[in-house]
């Protein structure tokens, strides 16, 4: 397989950097081809602005989505964005690797998504009418490929549990997993989350590295999170509401959009012995 890792940490010698090295080494040992987009090392420009659309007339009002569509169709996106799109088309698997900062991804990685996931490429794909709301959520240009998050977090696993004060990790990562990765078509694997990352010692690192190697060995066979397909019959069109009665008993919020609840839990890397509930059943 071809694997693209998009890595967003300013320090090469960080825990995140070490996890990246572990992942690359294991994937290459398994015979996979690996490319890394190291956003800080590349000096990635995170903000969307006029410079992204060199063919836009100087006196034209900048409407980012429309400009993105025009530039994508005309092939006039900037070279750095085109290079990342080429990597996404090349890769069978996309891995986003980052520390959790303010319950989300670092700004540089969000800016990578904002600029690279262009209109006509990652969104605005397919027929948009009263009968069909485009090719998205399980369909789209990146359908048939897999994606996965590797995330380090300072908080404890309990803080991110169902009753934890931070909110459940699956909910916090939902906008990335569902809104950014599933949207353009990726099958999204359960995330690999390292909790209590700031307190990690070398012994803890060795245990986590071994679990990460196992996840890298099973990239092709791990069952994706069972998000519902937009065009699979579960949603009313054009209101895009989940049809009544399809949800699991008691499900609400983000969980409504997962068909098989047993597959949705994040894998816990912060505890030496994750319970069955913590590990997506399909990935054990
Ligand atoms: P590092 O700081 O590089 O390392 C962490 C520890 O791992 C160190 O003690 C290091 O010695 C040890 N380590 C052990 N073995 C190795 C090895 N082989 N290689 C490298 N290091 C090793 N946390 C939350 O839970 N929620 C938040 O919303 C949140 N927001 C944040 C916002 C900001 C702006 C910042 C700066 C931090 C935030 N944090 C938050 C904490 C953050 O998630 C952690 O600091 C981060 O995940 C740690 O990952 P790192 O790669 O930066 O680790």
Of all protein residues, the one whose alpha carbon is nearest to atom 23 of ligand 1 is 154
Residues 57-93: pLDDT tens digits? Answer: 999 999 999 999 999 999 999 999 999 999 999 999 9
For the cut 90, the answer to whether the pLDDT of residue 230 exceeds it is: yes
Per-residue tokens: 2: 């071809």
CATH of the domain at 32: 3.40.50.360
Number of domains in the chain: 1
Residues 8-32: pLDDT tens digits? Answer: 999 999 999 999 999 999 999 999 9
What is the distance between the alpha carbons of residues 121 and 113, in angstroms, rounded to a whole number? Answer: 12
Query: How much distance in Å is there from the Cα of 197 to the middle of ligand 1?
Result: 5
What is the distance between the alpha carbons of residues 284 and 282, in angstroms, rounded to a whole number? Answer: 6
Residues 173-229: pLDDT tens digits? Answer: 999 999 999 999 999 999 999 999 999 999 999 999 999 999 999 999 999 999 999
Using left for φ > 0, alpha for ψ between -120 and 50, and beta otherwise, residue 179 falls in alpha
Query: How much distance in Å is there from the Cα of 283 to the middle of ligand 1?
Result: 26
Query: How much distance in Å is there from the Cα of 91 to the middle of ligand 1?
Result: 28
Residue 241 included in any domain: no
Ligand 1 site, CB within 6 A? 9, 14-16, 18, 99-103, 152-155, 197-198, 200-202, 205
Question: Which residue from 179, 192, 173 is spatially nearest to 103, judged by alpha carbons?
Answer: 173
The two most distant CA atoms of the chain are separated, in Å, by 60
Query: How much distance in Å is there from the Cα of 16 to the middle of ligand 1?
Result: 8
Residue 14 included in any domain: yes
Domain interval for residue 136? 2-224+264-268
Substitution site in 12, 197, 206 for ligand 1 pocket (most atoms within 8 Å of beta carbon): 197
Residue 113 included in any domain: yes
Number of Cα atoms under 13 Å in the Cβ half of residue 174? 16
Residue 274 included in any domain: no
Residues 109-158: pLDDT tens digits? Answer: 999 999 999 999 999 999 998 889 999 999 999 999 999 999 999 999 99
Per-residue pLDDT at 263: 45
Residue 258 included in any domain: no
């Amino acid at each position: 397989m071809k694997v693209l890792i998009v890595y967003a940490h300013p320090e090469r010698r960080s825990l995140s950097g070490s996890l990246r090295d572990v992942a690359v080494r294991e994937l290459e040992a398994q015979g996979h081809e690996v490319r890394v987009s190291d956003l800080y090392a590349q000096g990635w420009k995170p903000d969307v602005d006029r410079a992204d659309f060199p063919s836009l007339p100087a006196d034209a009002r900048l409407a980012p989505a429309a400009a993105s569509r025009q530039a994508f169709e005309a092939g006039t996106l900037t070279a750095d964005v085109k290079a990342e799109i080429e990597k996404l088309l090349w890769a069978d698997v996309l891995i986003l690797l980052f520390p959790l900062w303010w319950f989300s991804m670092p700004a540089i990685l969000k800016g990578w998504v904002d600029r690279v996931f262009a209109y006509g490429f990652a969104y605005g794909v397919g027929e948009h009418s009263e009968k069909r709301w485009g090719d998205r959520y399980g369909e789209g240009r990146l359908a048939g490929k897999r994606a996965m998050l590797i995330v380090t977090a300072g908080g404890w696993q309990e803080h991110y549990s169902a009753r934890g004060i931070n909110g459940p990790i699956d909910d916090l990562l939902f906008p990335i997993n569902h809104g950014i990765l599933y949207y353009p078509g990726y099958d999204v694997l359960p995330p690999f989350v390292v909790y209590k990352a700031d307190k990690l010692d070398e012994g803890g690192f060795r245990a986590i590295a071994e679990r990460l190697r196992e996840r890298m060995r099973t990239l092709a066979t791990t069952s994706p999170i069972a998000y519902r397909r937009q065009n699979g019959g579960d949603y009313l069109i054009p209101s895009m509401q989940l049809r009544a009665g399809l949800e699991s008993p008691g499900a609400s919020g983000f969980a409504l959009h997962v068909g098989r609840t047993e597959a949705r839990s994040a894998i816990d890397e912060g505890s030496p012995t994750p319970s069955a509930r913590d590990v997506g059943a399909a990935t054990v």
